[in-house]
Amino acid sequence: MRRFSLLSATALTGVLALGCGEQTSPTAPVGLLAASLSVERTTDHFGFAFGDEHYLVILGATAENWAAFCATGAENWDEWTILTVTRPDGSQKLGEQTRDLHALIWNQPADPCAVSPDYTGTASYTNHDNDLDLSAQGANGTGMITRGTVSDASGQNYHLLSVFNGTISRIYTSADNYVLDQHVEFVRLTPVGP
């Protein structure tokens, strides 16, 4: 895997700018700031659903808020923390890391607007996507991990663990048309206690 230092790429850009086109005076900026890295931390409110053949998981809503969303479309979601890194080439890396999200889980098959969740609780969620809009030069790696504790109607607690990891080949350059190769995909509930 090739890795490029930001300083080396920036210095090379400056040398090429001096060698090509109009000459600049030695005291004029060479455009080194144009090729910079930016980092933005934001928050947003939304719900997120995923699942496998055993479970459907919705993060970001209480059971009451989910029922209201299904009945009226009213959106009352948990807050998520989002980190976006924009590279000098304009491509973006996205990261989300949020704790204490409400977690709703249904046994599959499920119609989540027709029946109450089988499990409720809270979870932490971490997501990474190294090329959000597929504009960089390499393959895209993406994945998420969810960990938490949920309980069923009887009060039995379960440890929630879900992992999804995948890649998108470098031949795909549009977020509108691509194939995700899913390498790991599971949602697991493990009973806690005797």
Q: What are all long-range contacts of 183-188, with beta carbons under 8 Å and residues at least 24 apart?
A: 184/143, 185/52, 186/52, 186/162, 187/50, 187/51, 187/52, 187/54, 187/55, 187/57, 187/105, 187/146, 187/160, 187/161, 187/162, 188/160, 188/161, 188/162
**Residue 77 DSSP one-character state:** P
Into how many domains does the chain fold? 2
For 109, counting Cβ atoms within 10 Å of its Cβ (0-12 exposed, 13-18 middle, 19+ buried), the class is exposed
Task: Give yes or no for a contact between 146 and 173, defined as CB atoms under 8 angstroms apart.
Answer: no
pLDDT at 91: 79
Mean of pLDDT values over 39-66: 94
- Joined tokens for residue 155: 């009060």
Rounded to an integer, what distance in angstroms lies between the CA atom of residue 136 and that of residue 122? 35
13 and 74 inside one domain: no
Judge if pTM exceeds 0.75: no
What is the Cα–Cα distance from 169 to 1, expressed in whole angstroms?
14
Same domain membership, residue 49 and residue 29: no
What's the pLDDT tens digit per position in 128-179?
A: 887 766 666 666 778 899 999 999 999 999 999 999 888 777 776 667 777 7
What residues make up the domain containing 22?
Answer: 1-36
Same domain for 46 and 26: no
**Co-location of 6 and 77 in the same domain:** no
- Asked if 2 and 48 sit in the same domain, the reply is no
Residues 101, 19 share a domain = no
Q: What is the mean pLDDT of the chain?
A: 79
pLDDT tens sequence across 67-97:
999 999 999 999 999 999 888 887 788 888 8
Residue 58 half-sphere exposure toward CB, CA atoms < 13 A: 26
Q: Nearest CA to 61 among 105, 108, 127?
A: 105
Same-domain check for residues 27 and 63: no
pLDDT value, residue 171:
73
- Residues 44, 129: one domain? yes
Q: Tell me the C-alpha distance between 48 and 54, whole Å.
A: 17
pLDDT for res 79: 94
Whether 30 and 103 map to the same domain: the answer is no
For residues 100 and 18, state if they share a domain: no
On whether both 42 and 100 belong to a single domain, the answer is yes
- Which residues have C-beta within 8 Å of that of residue 2, sequence separation ≥ 6? none
C-alpha to C-alpha distance for 74 and 69, rounded to whole angstroms: 5
Mean pLDDT of 30-46: 76
**45 in the same domain as 6:** no
